Structure 1
């Protein structure tokens, strides 16, 4: 049985895979994109019903196509983003094969390229791009045992309030997902507790400009790594309800009970760190520092943007910040569900190559892995802060396509004369000169 050949094989047809296809096609590289589900499947079925993009439509898109039915300053819904990716794939005629799962990728021995085993047969490829992104395996910390009499689910499995059992809800994690889910549950009439860890908290907008614009003009999207020595923290920002700054004090005064980081569980009680005031204060400092930089930029460039002094006004600290709750008795508080908005880990068990550290994380520089011929795309901070956004992955894909093109040129190189031929020519010239 013959095996298929392709120059580049791309695994995953989300935003990373679609962007990769455009740049490979522009360089005339034959390629195939394999997707085990549908195009942009994670946007369709891996998110809750009311999710919208965290960036406005004018910003959070690929350069060559605008959203059809979304105001440029509005926030596209998850389904609109999925359809956008389908439209883009059709526009560039991306060679995507849906319903095909990659089982394994191994380096060929004694010859270039990789053997890719799939649910539809074997493909041999010179280069492989893992465009599966960072949201592969939901992470639920081992704080509350699975056999506890309370429903536990990851935010990736949450869809809407009606899905959950009657009763209160503890949401653990207050980044974009946790903050939005907690507020939605509270609006539905639930008693909600929200565990808040370290976070960055940019303003949704300031002085008539979205925070995406501010990060752009202040060159913050181009930062290549988090501040030296800083721990990774989540970003609390939301496009929900037309887009507004995530304000934990507002949530608390509205009835959501704030808690510190969830630490342990014993006899029906969840214990929390007393770090809530510190976490909120650090988020405030991050927020205010961006306002300061924005004001300085406006003054330095003489921009006529409206003043917004009220942006620096904070509501009084709620009781949950003044006297943080250290423990929560789930039964006594009526909590029937815990939603873990605690992020994801990667899963590259299908990629059997020398490109990972001892913890299974990709070893790479800007997506170029330590295994020649293997590339990663769609990772946070892959090349810059903006890599996590739709437009950012498009630019990362361009860099990888350029790198593949350079490597292809190296592989096709053939010297005009071999060393042996040059030696014979030199000997011939030497004899001729003596004669």
Structure 2
């Protein structure tokens, strides 16, 4: 290991959140370095399936000095369109990047931090006064402990590895999980004509459009994505819930699992165990479907109240009525008998900050932070779900969060008031 070099600020991760912090630091004239294990924003191309689309309208897509300017603001960009849009943003500035370099260790030292870097050229160390961690909220895909006990003849992959139906062996497919990825992957397979078995979890759902507008546009107007986490109804429990499932595919539509069942998809409750070819499910399907529909209709009611209070002229109100219900909750599945030859796990991710040696994490390994700032001097985070608001995990909230963290870093380095020249979206304040 070479002797440690020094740079005032290191941003770990070159996704849209880390690069947004870099954008602001650059405009403030702060010497810094962005360290990325791969290439900038590679996850968009590397971990999304071929038919992926955003579930938030294109007008939500805003980054520092840059916003969606295409001809379909209420539409939903595909994966490749998102990659192209992000590349266009990266062309507007020159962040100080160090790619294909992994941070293996971050530890507190006198007056700052020391980072151990691994790259094709070897191991080295780097010191800094401030570190902004922008590696994503939950980088490790979750698989259940019993996955290893399932018949090895059944192919298994996580949702981040799924690309298209042709990638999987012939035969039926079991998709486990109904968050945004699981529901959309099940739809992708269903539309391709594959026989799909779907283990339904506790994720809620939302209407794609309601009373003449996209539901997420209504919610943005209502300030839902701007409400600080501490003030959000339901508190911590609400923040831990999976996001509502819906799709932007083919111009956007509802994801109705009951409709899928009418069309031949087989639904189950939560998958709770498995060995060899036999899987066991909780008898929770009816409850899960009813609860998801209840949230759907509750959001519609919230929008109704907003429309009435604001005196908005909108199309008539309506409510979702179930088009199908299970006769009984299935509790078992024989994979071999059902011809299931592959499983797609879409049950989420978990945090992994073992490389950070600092007292900044709770018992679940998640950063203890307020708007990205921790109690460890000089250590901050960006790009976390619910870091400040519901919008923090979306393009809609990245710019605001990054600017706040950058302001904090500038203030800490200068030990003075943040300069009034720090820009927001390219406009001098």
Unaligned segments of structure 1, at least 5 residues = 413-435
- Say if 2:50 is the partner of 1:42: no
Match of 1:271 among 238, 257, 280: 280
Where do 1:274-289 residues align within 5 Å? Answer: 274-289=283-298
> In the TM superposition, what is the alpha-carbon distance from 1:308 to its structure 2 partner?
5.0
Alpha-carbon deviations, 1:230-287, whole Å to 9, x = none? Answer: 3632221221221111211111112111110001124521111111111111111111
Alpha-carbon deviations, 1:10-49, whole Å to 9, x = none? Answer: 0111111111112212322211111111111111111111
> In the TM superposition, what is the alpha-carbon distance from 1:84 to its structure 2 partner?
2.3
| In structure 2, distance between residues paired with 1:193 and 1:89 | 41
Alpha-carbon deviations, 1:271-325, whole Å to 9, x = none? Answer: 111111111111111111111121222122221222253xx2424323xx23121
Where do 1:345-384 residues align within 5 Å? Answer: 345-384=350-389
The Cα RMSD (Å) is 2.0
- Say if 2:134 is the partner of 1:127: no
| In structure 2, distance between residues paired with 1:382 and 1:228 | 13
- TM-score, normalised relative to structure 1: 0.88
| In structure 2, distance between residues paired with 1:273 and 1:200 | 18
> In the TM superposition, what is the alpha-carbon distance from 1:63 to its structure 2 partner?
5.7
Q: Which residue of structure 2 lines up, in the alignment, with residue 230 of structure 1? A: 237
- TM-score, normalised relative to structure 2: 0.89
> In the TM superposition, what is the alpha-carbon distance from 1:135 to its structure 2 partner?
4.0
Q: Which residue of structure 1 lines up, in the alignment, with residue 99 of structure 2? A: 98
- Say if 2:394 is the partner of 1:385: no
Secondary structure of the corresponding residue to residue 144 of structure 1: helix
Q: Which moved more, 1:193-202 or 1:161-170?
A: 193-202
> In the TM superposition, what is the alpha-carbon distance from 1:64 to its structure 2 partner?
3.1
Closer, same or farther in 2 for the Cα pair 1:392/1:146, shift >3 Å?
farther
Match of 1:329 among 318, 323, 334: 334
Q: Which residue of structure 1 lines up, in the alignment, with residue 76 of structure 2? A: 75
> In the TM superposition, what is the alpha-carbon distance from 1:4 to its structure 2 partner?
3.0
Alpha-carbon deviations, 1:108-167, whole Å to 9, x = none? Answer: 1xx311112212532221100110112411111123334523111100011100000111
Where do 1:35-434 residues align within 5 Å? Answer: 35-62=36-63, 64-67=65-68, 71-108=72-109, 111-120=110-119, 121-146=124-149, 148=151, 149-225=153-229, 227-228=234-235, 230=237, 232-234=240-242, 235-309=244-318, 312-318=319-325, 321-410=326-415
> In the TM superposition, what is the alpha-carbon distance from 1:404 to its structure 2 partner?
1.5
Secondary structure of the corresponding residue to residue 328 of structure 1: strand
| In structure 1, distance between residues paired with 2:245 and 2:383 | 20
| In structure 2, distance between residues paired with 1:238 and 1:12 | 28
Query: Number of residue pairs matched?
Result: 406
Equivalent residues of 1:52, 1:75 under 8 A apart:
yes
| In structure 2, distance between residues paired with 1:342 and 1:212 | 24
| In structure 2, distance between residues paired with 1:189 and 1:83 | 30
Equivalent residues of 1:14, 1:85 under 8 A apart:
no
